Amino acid sequence: MIRIITFLFPFFCFAQIPAYYSTIDFTQTGDNLKNQLTTLVTNTHTTNLPYTATGTTDTWDALYQTDLNPNNTSNVLLVYGWNDTDSDITNDLSRDKTFSCHTSSCNGLWVREHVFPRSLGTPNLGFEFAGADAHHLRSIDSQRNNSRSNRLFEEGSGVDMSYITSAGNWYPGNQWKGDIARMIMYMYVRYPSQCLPINVGVGSVSYSAFGDMPNVFLDWNAQDPVSQYEINRNNILTY
């Protein structure tokens, strides 16, 4: 598939830029740079997985590989989760990878989260192309998926737990906020007219010269740097 937009990673300021980006003029800024990156990731996006399919690789198959818990590969990590030790299964950080739900009754099972909600795309993302792009699909507890729904992302109190804010928006939790920010940024670069960050995040856009990127995503990207888990996940999707 394609490589994540690693120019967003803080260490790019100090490390050699990978050969993948050799056609990019990093002296450019703003829309000029973003447009170059959009062209690059679009031209190199050669595999579009079906959302759900029989007899061929689909996004379920992708998540069975990309979301494995590196400390226990029998489990997947659940986005927005944080606790495997209490009695509340809805906040689980991980779950048996075989407990995916393919029916209408999914309590205690995991489903697929569209980090960029399908309904907030312009137009709706549907279940093809952007709606089936595994870079923003994540394993999630079914009930937590219902809680998130299509709520906008908002800054929270800086705790591990994910929750609905007092304004009715969604805080993803400390350990997930950077991942979320980078997935939203990726979707914007890959699908620039369909996946607008201002449609999925609230708050000031004062950092953005064009008013197109809520500050919250830029803050989360800086506060929760890229993990080896994210890098490994991207490498699986790339190859």
For residue 43, is it within any domain? no
Mean pLDDT computed over every residue of the chain: 93
For residue 25, is it within any domain? no
Query: How many other CB atoms sit within 10 Å of the CB of residue 161?
Result: 16
More reliable by pLDDT, 4 or 85: 85
pLDDT value for 80: 99
Give tens-digit pLDDT for 197-217.
Answer: 999 999 999 999 899 999 999
Overall number of domains in the chain: 1
Quick check: 165 and 171 in contact, CB under 8 A? yes
Res. 10: pLDDT tops 50: no
Res. 237: pLDDT tops 80: yes
For residue 86, is it within any domain? yes
Buried b (16+ CB within 10 A) or exposed e, 52-86: eeeeeebbbebbebbbbbeeeeebbbbbbbbeeee
Give tens-digit pLDDT for 114-171.
Answer: 999 999 999 999 999 999 999 999 999 999 999 999 999 999 998 999 999 999 999 9
More reliable by pLDDT, 211 or 15: 211
For residue 194, is it within any domain? yes
Predicted confidence band of residue 17 (pLDDT cuts 50, 70, 90): confident
For residue 169, is it within any domain? yes
Give tens-digit pLDDT for 170-201.
Answer: 999 999 999 999 999 999 999 999 999 999 99
Res. 4: pLDDT tops 70: no
Predicted confidence band of residue 5 (pLDDT cuts 50, 70, 90): very low
Q: What is the mean pLDDT of residues 39-56?
A: 95
- CA–CA separation, 230 and 45 (whole Å): 19
Res. 9: pLDDT tops 60: no
For residue 98, is it within any domain? yes
pLDDT value for 230: 96
> What is the chain's alpha carbon radius of gyration, rounded to the nearest angstrom?
17
- CA–CA separation, 114 and 128 (whole Å): 12
Res. 8: pLDDT tops 70: no
For the entire predicted model, the pTM comes to: 0.93
- Structural domain span for residue 114: 49-238
For residue 170, is it within any domain? yes
- CA–CA separation, 103 and 125 (whole Å): 22
pLDDT value for 15: 56
For residue 232, is it within any domain? yes
